Structure 1
């Protein structure tokens, strides 16, 4: 980790929701999901928020490091329809050795859709991948 990896780093990301990021597309083999409305799926929202946090870290990690999501604690308070733009604001609030905590807020054109925190762990990519089953 570089010395610049300190609390206070902020990042804003925008994401235009495509048609295939809706609840029915999350697990198309599950009729329970297929029957749901065509709105942004919580599972996809998690990925969007993780991406914003990863982007915030550009330039602050060593070349052999990656971060992995370790905890999500945020709401999904309002629906977002395809074609809407989600804006995610993240702020790194704590660096505890290799554990990073972000505060986040996501909104679309109509409402705040999510607030909360996300934690990521800094790991050595090669060491992590060497432990994966082959």
Structure 2
């Protein structure tokens, strides 16, 4: 499968999350503040990116995260609603590149770039089997 045949620049998706305690840095690292953790923000950015294109992939194909270049610009407390967006900005044969952003209300709390690699699940799984 060639991503250029089915994925178009401008495809996008948005996710919303009410920040739970389990997604705070203090939940993972004792003594740290109970604010939205950077890896959890990146997770939402990756999921939004996948959401933007998943419905256009052929059966048996998925994308996996391959690159992140993210800035976390501001803290968000437990109970805050975070909106994460992803938009396709480039498409190569097996790589889709995204611009990603996260907001709490109108305040931007994160931005950056993310890339996802196109893989055939059957072939991918076969390569992971012990030899």
TM-score between both structures, scaled by the size of structure 2: 0.90
Match of 2:98 in 1: 102
Q: Deviations over 1:55-84 (max 9, x none)?
A: 111321111011110000110010011111
Q: CA deviation at 1:110?
A: 6.1
Give the 3-state SS of the residue equivalent to 2:72 in structure 1. coil
Is 1:113 the counterpart of 2:109? The answer is: yes
Unpaired stretches in structure 2, ≥5 consecutive residues: none
Unpaired stretches in structure 1, ≥5 consecutive residues: 27-32
Is 1:39 the counterpart of 2:35? The answer is: yes
Match of 1:11 in 2: 13
Q: CA deviation at 1:24?
A: 2.3
Kindly indicate whether the alpha-carbon contact (under 8 Å) linking 2:61 and 2:118 is maintained by their aligned counterparts in 1.
yes
Aligned residues: 128
Paired with 2:57 and 2:43, the residues of 1 have a C-alpha distance of: 20
Paired with 1:68 and 1:133, the residues of 2 have a C-alpha distance of: 18
Structure number with higher helix proportion: 2
TM-score between both structures, scaled by the size of structure 1: 0.88
Is 1:50 the counterpart of 2:52? The answer is: no
User: Which aligned segments of 4 or more residues in structure 1 are displaced greater than 4 angstroms?
Assistant: none
Kindly indicate whether the alpha-carbon contact (under 8 Å) linking 2:9 and 2:88 is maintained by their aligned counterparts in 1.
yes
